[in-house]
Copies of this chain bind each other. A is one copy, B any other.
Amino acid sequence: MEINDLPKLHSDFSVDCVVFGFDKGELRILLIERAEEPFKDYLALPGNLVYDNENIDQAANRVLTELTSLNDVYMEQLYTFGDVNRHPQGRVITVAYFSLIKVKKHTLNPLSTYAKKAQWCAVADLPPLAFDHQLILEKAYKRLQNKIRYQPIGFELLPEKFTLSQLQQLYEVILEKPIDKRNFRKKILSFGLLIELDEKQKNVSHRAAKLYKFNKTRYNNLKKMGFSFEL
């Protein structure tokens, strides 16, 4: 089927979700492989039209829950993309959402008709994406790079228990630059937001490091008192 033979959509709005994960030292993004024209076989952000009876936040949550079975994840609205020609079938304005999830906590579900499969892809090594999804991803990546310095959202990407090296690596990968280990540890520990556990890494070839947890309750309390997180 040619693009021009596709049925025209009326003006419509959709949501698209940029879902970041962090695994094996790489920043990853959850993409689907399209089963249909337009952009058949391309990788694309998971998304869908907004139903008449749901709010846009609900639509974004629905898309993510259908895909991952997760329903309690960090999600925020990112930006709305509405260029006249962004969708070959008609005018579709899409509200992009931005989500951070712990890669290991979910399984990917069987998908709807428009997607063959879903997979985690390394952000550093992506082929061209469908529609304007490359643009949406770039906007999301910038938001992540900016926000991770002023809000402790990085913890959403780590396992519940993590080492200080894992935390540093996360920052290095996302900010795309090396970080001085000593300064990083000093600063991150000075906030008093990490709980040092009486537990170490298991099954590692190097010397097992101490595990930590993020103290979200304390962060929320500090925030109310005007505390600013900044790394």
Residue of B nearest to A58 (CB): B84
- Distance in angstroms from A145 CB to nearest chain B CB is 13
Residues of B within 8 A of A53 (CB): 84
- Is A220 engaged at the interface, CB distance under 8 Å to the other chain? no
How many chain copies does the complex carry?
A: 2
Q: Does A64 contact B (CB under 8 A)?
A: no
Report whether over half of chain A's contact residues are helix, strand or loop; otherwise say mixed: loop
A80 to B95, CA, bound (A): 7
Inter-subunit contact A50/B82 (CB<8 Å) = yes
Number of A residues with CB within 8 Å of any CB on chain B: 19
Q: Which residues of B contact A93 (CB under 8 A)?
A: 13, 50, 56, 93, 95
Q: Is A77 an interface residue (CB 8 A)?
A: yes
Interface digits, A24-58 against B, CB 8 Å rule (1 contact, 0 not)? 00000000000000000000000000101111100
Question: Which of A52, A54, A93 has most B Cβ within 10 Å?
Answer: A93
Does A217 belong to the interface (CB within 8 Å)?
Answer: no
A17 to chain B, nearest CB (A): 14
What are the 4 closest A-B residue pairs judged by CB atoms, nearest first?
A56-B82, A80-B80, A55-B83, A80-B95
A-B contact pairs, 28 of them (CB 8 A): A10-B10, A10-B11, A11-B11, A11-B12, A11-B13, A11-B52, A13-B13, A13-B82, A13-B93, A50-B82, A50-B93, A52-B84, A53-B84, A54-B84, A55-B82, A55-B83, A55-B84, A56-B80, A56-B82, A56-B83, A56-B93, A77-B79, A77-B80, A80-B80, A80-B95, A82-B95, A93-B93, A93-B95
